Amino acid sequence: MAVGGIGGVGAVNLSQLAELYRQQVTGASGTAATAGTAATAGTAATAGTAATAGTAATAGTSAPARAAAARGADFASAVGEGLQQLDSLDRNAAAKATQAATGDLSDVSDYVIAATQAQTATELTTTIRNKALDAFNEIMRMPL
């Protein structure tokens, strides 16, 4: 999946991206995702609701499996919240840039601060993603 600029033209809806990630982490098998909706095991959910197989899929599983699914869901929600915060910072910087360009911004340092926060958060997110991919690739190279 190609992801455009965060909050820019052609950007992916981060709540949908977080929801897809949540579904992958909780092991929702047989999930078909389309733009704006997600269908799981015969139930439909819109972008504003969460469709996880947590209750239906774990009804017959052991307690450790349910605990692992809960930890995965917690991690997925933390990732989703982080992406939403990043999107918020990016939108704030874009709004400040527009205000600065139109002359509506009283203090230009507000824009500089917002842009720096958005840039730093984007760099941190990219670094974390790269480290996670490196760790995943390292695990995949381990001999069985």
Rounded Cα distance, 22 and 16, in Å: 10
pLDDT-derived band at 65 (thresholds 50, 70, 90) equals confident
Rounded Cα distance, 86 and 6, in Å: 8
Higher pLDDT among residues 12 and 109, named by residue = 109
Rounded Cα distance, 32 and 106, in Å: 48
Length of the chain: 144
Q: Confirm whether pTM is higher than 0.75.
A: no
Higher pLDDT among residues 40 and 141, named by residue = 141
Rounded Cα distance, 5 and 78, in Å: 21
* Residue 36 near residue 46 (C-beta atoms within 8 A): yes
